[in-house]
């Protein structure tokens, strides 16, 4: 099969690129790039976020309730009606969902996932009656009889054990959504339950998967390729997140705290050494400046072992970096996995906390270290939208001089991500390499080639 963008043409044979030639031959598209990768995602949770009703853009609570009533009519009595994506200027009034679906527990999540709107039956199943008190970090709105119907922040946690649990179908749905957006590979960054790996191994995968297991869960597993799944990494958490004030910083938060280390640098060093010896690389979540500085120190110590094993270490998020740390990146066997689109929301936190804007999301400075950048979305934290990463990385809202050119964003979603994955035969248009491609018209993915098969959306 020949494909062309009008300037050059690719001959695909089986799952490989056989030839690259000047001139136009075969099926013509506006642009053909190596297959897009999302270098940091949680496909199981993305699939869970996609289940149920999509209430994005629904104008009023009444309209949402009508959609719930219609959905409930098609479901067996007692089964959950789930939904997501609503955003109203003020919380919905009580009672609507009780009238809409009296025989079904209902749980609707707001677009930002910071609140859940439920009905009586859901409250009953979660043990939330008039006497219930919200946990620390959470709040309720109650109906006239005192039963919670709108759960804010951590109050949503009471619901979790009662909702339908994650399933292989959620993983399949999540991965399929990436495929339909033009992605050919996804890096799953070890937050899913360990059994999700077995679900993935049993699926016919619509994308190639790079897989990291949670800390501890790698023991007894063997790294390597299993069909289209590359079991490759172990995920550690050096700190928390900015929104919860748990990212571990040098500059204090407004309340004087500095965030906190999670797994601890000693643990990272000791278990990390064992995992490397077993052939797994390390993917370490580090958001705050102090977490990044600490992990760099550990990586400097582990670098000789990683090199001897032919493994590329990974730093995930790398969101806040002090200037004095930049020279310490150079020369490490390391890839930097970032999610530029988080900047679109986190810029407000950076401003509100008074953190130095020049330390946040330093795309250009990190690019200048010479290490590969790999871009992803952290879905379900954000939608896996290439266009959003492109916007955030090319028009840095806090520090314009840290912006990247568009070509670098594409590189970080293709060759950079392939380097982070340790895939030498992926992410470039060259003879002998894997023929996973993304096809573009009008600046948007309109199709892909996956495992040598052409798909137009």
Stretch that binds Zn ion, among 27-35, 88-96, 361-369, 377-385 (CB under 5 A): 377-385
State in angstroms the smallest separation of the CB of 40 from Zn ion: 6
The backbone torsions φ and ψ at residue 172, rounded to the nearest 5 degrees and listed phi first, read: -60, -45
Q: Which two tokens stand for residue 357?
A: 């804007």
Stretch that binds Zn ion, among 132-140, 246-254, 375-383, 424-432 (CB under 5 A): 375-383
Nearer to Zn ion, 378 or 415 (CB): 378
Footprint of Zn ion on 185-204 (CB under 5 A): 189
Stretch that binds Zn ion, among 21-29, 45-53, 212-220, 378-386 (CB under 5 A): 378-386
Q: Which two tokens stand for residue 53?
A: 């009703």
State in angstroms the smallest separation of the CB of 301 from Zn ion: 25
Cα–Cα separations (whole angstroms), residue 372 to 69, 180, 186: 50, 26, 17
Q: What are the start-end ranges of the E strands in 143-280?
A: 148-153, 183-189, 208-214, 224-226, 229-237
Residues binding Zn ion: number (CB under 5 A): 2
**How far, in Å, CA of 134 to CA of 14, rounded?**
57
State in angstroms the smallest separation of the CB of 178 from Zn ion: 15
Q: Which residue intervals of 74-204 are DSSP H helices?
A: 96-100, 120-125, 168-180, 195-202
Q: Which residue is nearest to Zn ion (CB)?
A: 378
State in angstroms the smallest separation of the CB of 349 from Zn ion: 17
State in angstroms the smallest separation of the CB of 128 from Zn ion: 29
State in angstroms the smallest separation of the CB of 317 from Zn ion: 8
Q: For residues 371 and 334, is the Cβ–Cβ distance under 8 A?
A: yes
Nearer to Zn ion, 17 or 189 (CB): 189
Nearer to Zn ion, 181 or 448 (CB): 181
Measuring CA to CA, which residue among 328, 313, 407, 409 is closest to residue 361?
409
User: What's the distance, CA 402 to chain centroid?
Assistant: 22
Residues 6+ apart with CB under 8 A from 48: 166, 170, 174, 380
Nearer to Zn ion, 42 or 104 (CB): 42
State in angstroms the smallest separation of the CB of 376 from Zn ion: 8
Nearer to Zn ion, 344 or 446 (CB): 344
Q: Which two tokens stand for residue 318?
A: 């790398």
Nearer to Zn ion, 88 or 191 (CB): 191
Footprint of Zn ion on 430-449 (CB under 5 A): none
**How far, in Å, CA of 354 to CA of 196, rounded?**
39
Stretch that binds Zn ion, among 70-78, 182-190, 287-295, 432-440 (CB under 5 A): 182-190
Residue 378 makes contact with Zn ion by CB under 5 A: yes
Nearer to Zn ion, 118 or 287 (CB): 287
Angle in degrees, CA 78, 81, 86, rounded to 5: 155
Nearer to Zn ion, 38 or 359 (CB): 38
The backbone torsions φ and ψ at residue 211, rounded to the nearest 5 degrees and listed phi first, read: -125, 130
Residues that bind Zn ion (CB under 5 A): 189, 378
């Amino acid at each position: 099969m020949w494909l062309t963008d009008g300037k050059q043409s690719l001959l695909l044979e089986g799952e490989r690129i056989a030839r690259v030639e000047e001139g136009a031959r075969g099926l013509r598209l506006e642009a053909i790039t190596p297959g897009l990768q999302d270098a940091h995602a949680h496909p199981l949770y993305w699939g869970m976020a996609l289940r149920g009703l999509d209430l994005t853009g629904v104008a009023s609570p009444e309209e949402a309730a009508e959609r719930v009533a219609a959905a409930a009519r098609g479901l067996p009595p007692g089964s959950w009606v789930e939904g997501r994506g609503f955003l109203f200027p003020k919380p919905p009034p009580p009672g609507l969902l009780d009238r809409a679906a009296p025989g079904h527990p209902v749980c609707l999540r707001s677009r930002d996932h910071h609140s859940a709107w439920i009905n009586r039956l859901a409250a009953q199943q979660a043990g939330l009656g008039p006497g219930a008190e919200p946990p620390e970090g959470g709040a309720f709105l109650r109906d006239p009889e005192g039963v919670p119907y709108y759960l804010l922040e951590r109050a949503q946690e009471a619901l979790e054990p009662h909702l339908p649990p994650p399933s292989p179908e959620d993983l399949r749905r999540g991965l399929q959504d990436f495929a339909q957006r033009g992605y050919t590979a996804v890096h799953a960054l070890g937050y899913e339950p360990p059994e999700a790996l077995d679900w993935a191994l049993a699926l016919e995968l619509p994308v190639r998967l790079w897989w990291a297991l949670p800390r501890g869960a790698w023991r007894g597993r063997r790294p390597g390729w299993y069909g289209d799944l590359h079991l490759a990494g172990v995920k550690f958490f050096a700190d928390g997140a900015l929104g919860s004030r748990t990212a571990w910083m040098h500059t204090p938060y407004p309340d004087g705290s500095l965030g906190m280390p999670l797994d601890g640098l000693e643990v990272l060093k000791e278990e990390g050494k064992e995992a490397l010896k077993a052939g797994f690389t390390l993917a370490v979540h580090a958001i705050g400046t102090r977490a990044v500085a600490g992990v760099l120190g550990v990586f400097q110590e582990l670098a000789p072992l990683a090199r001897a094993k032919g493994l590329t270490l990974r730093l995930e998020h790398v969101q806040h970096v002090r200037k004095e740390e930049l020279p310490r990146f150079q020369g490490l066997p390391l890839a930097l996995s970032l999610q530029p689109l988080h900047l679109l929301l986190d810029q407000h936190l950076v401003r509100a906390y008074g953190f130095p804007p020049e330390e946040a999301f330093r795309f250009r400075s990190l690019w200048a270290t010479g290490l590969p950048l790999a871009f992803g979305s952290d879905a379900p934290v954000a939608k896996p939208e290439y266009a959003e990463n492109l916007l955030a990385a090319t028009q840095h809202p806090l520090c314009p001089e840290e912006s990247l050119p568009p070509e670098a964003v594409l590189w970080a979603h293709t060759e950079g991500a392939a380097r982070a994955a340790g895939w030498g035969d992926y992410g470039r248009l060259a003879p002998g390499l894997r023929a996973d491609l993304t096809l573009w018209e009008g600046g948007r993915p309109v199709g892909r080639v996956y495992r040598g098969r052409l798909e137009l959306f």
